[in-house]
Amino acid sequence: MATPKILGIETEFGVAQVGSFGDPIVQSSLLVNAYAHASAGRIRWDFFDETPQRDARGATPLDAMPPMVESNLANTVLTNGARFYVDHAHPEYSSPECSSALEAVRYDVAGEWVLRRAMEAVRSYAPQAPELVVYKNNSDGKGNSYGCHENYLIARDLPFSDVVAACVPHFISRIIFCGAGKVGADFPDRHGQIPAFQLSQRAEFFEEIIGLETTVKRPIVNTRDEPHADPSKYRRLHVIAGDANLAEVATFLKLGTTALILAMVEDGHLDPTPLWPADPVHAFRAFSADPSLSAAVDLDRGGSMTALEMQWVLYEAAVAYADRFGLAVLGADGSGALTLERWGRALHALEVDPATLAHEVDWVAKRRLVEGLRDRHGLAAQDPRLEAVDLQYHDLRLEKSLAARCSLERLTLDADVRSAETAPPRTTRAYFRGMALTKFRDAVDSANWDSVVFDVGEEPLRRVPMMDPTKGTAAQTEALFDRCSSARELVAELEGEEHHGRA
Amino acid sequence: MAEREQIRRRDGRDDEQVAQSTPQTTGGEHGEKLKADLDELLDEIDEVLEDNAEEFVRNYIQKGGE
């Protein structure tokens, strides 16, 4: 039986100041701190047990460049269970742990609202200063990329090589429905050519098949082994090969299909070996540079395949898997069935005519604007206005965002997103973290993914561990929060439970 | 499938040509509708797009992240 697919998305946002250059670290800190002050005050992030340099393949290779540990400049935990902080030179929103793709979409969109509110908060503190603008994209078109990482809970005893075998074909081919689109390229291809339009913002930044790094020599499958959970039971698959999406359907499909494929791997239902490309890194770029979706790449076993053909094989396997195993591990809200339905529908539409997905898939929506503008004004392929369309598609200010003008299909309701900006998911440990902050903010010393540290007014500080992401849900702790009127009572009850062996 | 094929040919770059050749059919009306939608959208884009595109794009420089 597959592990419940607890999942979430971390997004690093681009940041720029209108009409001037500034220090992006200062700008990012301003955004995070202004939001924290405007909402409810700041709770420290607890760095205990952060080990981003641990490698899923075993020992850390000597030639691996360990990722930098994030700065402690501006670092907050939100009442919805998310982490909002400065990572390198970007504001980053890490969504709380969710138990379904639909829920994770809601919390991803809530992240956009957080950044929008952060921009407004900065503006109200410093109305005379040049406006700070946030972009939900992954590349500046000049060789710099910043990530949108997905996380999925998987079983520790699953051989990592099985995960790699399934994920490589999926990650390089899923961009046909979850690529965010890109005008031109950051780098010429191996023939010195710049493609006019790419499916993915990120594909050309990948240089390895598998590895530990995230900022240099980026690997298609990242091996960071930092479970933020009981390491004897779980892994957290840290996916760095995706784009940040504005289209909710694209975000949903990215999460739903990947979770489903991981469940198939856990249940031994998928044999992905026929899909393994002869050169996966080249295949990723070749697929990205081909909006006609006709490019076929050589396979390791001989023959060749298009991205769409790879996706059809994975989809057909998923349909058979669902028949046999059901889709309960993808959440209790119907996300599993909806994933299958929308996945099949998207592949069919891509086969018949990708342009019909202009309201569901970012690269299609963006390409329609780019080609429409080009044709209307007779622009050359290198005209900066086309790149401007690309960039401004991702502007999070509603009055400027081009994505917001594309009538993208919504899977969320505004009322639910508004609630998700402040209230945690009810179905994972994020509920405990979020409720602790909501109800006992003054008594929370710090928090991180797998614990909350309380200051109950007497020594020592009390750390409540949350080593299982599926525990600490509303079903398990809502009554506890209801009957405790102080953090001291809450901690006493929890310690009592532990004493009696019930935790 | 036939209907989808029509949509394909009427969308995007072949818009005008196809709309001109089959203006009487229902598909033609659908093509006109798609074109009108796109025109309206492009009017809005022209209005909201940053004025100095070249400078706007040139000044957007980020540090690598992750």
Query: Are the Cβ atoms of B60 and A141 closer than 8 angstroms?
Result: yes
Chain A environment of B65 (Cβ under 8 Å): 12, 87-90, 92, 145-147, 215
Contact between B48 and A405 using a beta-carbon 8 Å cutoff: yes
Q: Output the pLDDT for position A394.
A: 98
pLDDT (tens digit, 9 = 90+) per residue, A78-112?
Answer: 999 999 999 989 999 999 999 999 999 999 999 99
Query: In the prediction, which pLDDT does A216 show?
Result: 85
Residue A88: the pLDDT is 85
Q: Which among B1, B53, B65 is the nearest to A147, CB-wise?
A: B65
Q: Give the residue-averaged pLDDT of A336-364.
A: 98
The interface predicted TM-score (ipTM) is 0.89
CA A363 to the chain's CA centroid: 17
Q: Collect all residues with Cβ–Cβ distance below 8 Å to A413 and sequence separation of at least 6.
A: none
Domain ranges of chain A: 7-417, 429-502
User: What is the reported pLDDT for A58?
Assistant: 63
Residue contact A355–B60, C-beta within 8 A: no
Q: Is there a contact between A368 and B12 if contact means CB atoms under 8 Å apart?
A: yes
Q: What is the CATH number of domain A7-417?
A: 3.30.590
Query: pLDDT of A36-66, one tens digit each?
Result: 888 865 566 676 666 676 777 665 443 333 3
What mean pLDDT is predicted for residues A225-241?
96
Nearest Cβ partner of A371 from B13, B60, B64?
B13
How far CA A157 is from CA of A56, A154, A272, in Å, comes to 12, 9, 19
DSSP 8-state symbol, A74: S
Among A17, A144, A293, A364, which would you mutate to test the B interface (most chain B Cβ atoms within 10 Å of its Cβ)?
A144
Contact A24 B44 (CB under 8 A): no
Could you say which of A24, A352, A369 has the minimum Cβ distance to residue B8?
Answer: A352
Name every residue whose Cβ is closer than 8 Å to that of residue A232 and which is 6 or more positions away in sequence: A156
- Percentage of residues of chain A with pLDDT beyond 70: 93
| pLDDT the model gives residue B3 | 38
Q: Which residue of A has its CA nearest to B40?
A: A405
Say what the alpha-carbon torsion angle A46, A52, A57, A61 is, to the nearest 10 degrees: -140
Q: Nearest by CB to A144, which of B46, B56, B63?
A: B63
Task: Report CB contact under 8 Å: A140, B62.
Answer: yes
Task: Name the average pLDDT for chain A.
Answer: 93
Residue A483 pLDDT class (50, 70, 90 cuts): very high
- A265 interface with B at CB cutoff 8 Å: no
- Two structure tokens written together for A410: 């919504």
Task: Identify the pLDDT of residue A18.
Answer: 86
Are A256 and A327 a contacting pair, CB within 8 Å? no
Which of A262-276, A304-318, A390-404, B30-44 shows the lowest per-residue confidence on average (mean pLDDT)? B30-44
Q: What is the structure's pLDDT at B16?
A: 40
What tens digit of pLDDT does each residue of A145-197 get? 999 999 999 999 999 999 999 999 999 999 999 999 999 999 998 889 999 99
What pLDDT, on a 0 to 100 scale, did the predictor assign at position B13? Answer: 36
- Check A46, A55, A87, A362 and give the catalytic one: A87
Percent of chain A with pLDDT over 90: 84
Q: Which two tokens stand for residue A148?
A: 């949108």
pLDDT digits (tens, 9 = 90+) for A401-428: 999 999 999 999 999 999 999 999 999 9
Mean local confidence (pLDDT), A432-457? 95
Q: Comparing A127 with A139, which gets the higher pLDDT? A: A139
**Pair A410, A102: CB distance under 8 Å:** no
Q: Which of A226, A118, A262 lies closest to A449, judged by CA?
A: A226
- Predicted pLDDT of residue A61: 42
Average pLDDT for A296-319: 98
Regarding beta strands A444-448 and A44-45, do their DSSP bridges make them parallel or antiparallel, or are they unpaired?
parallel
pLDDT of residue B31: 83
Confirm whether A87 is a catalytic residue.
yes
Higher pLDDT, B64 or A285: A285
Instruction: Please state the rounded mean pLDDT for residues A224-246.
Output: 96
Q: Which residue of A218, A385, A394, A398 to mutate against B (max B Cβ within 10 Å)?
A: A385
B6-42: pLDDT as tens digits? 333 333 334 343 333 333 445 678 888 888 999 999 9
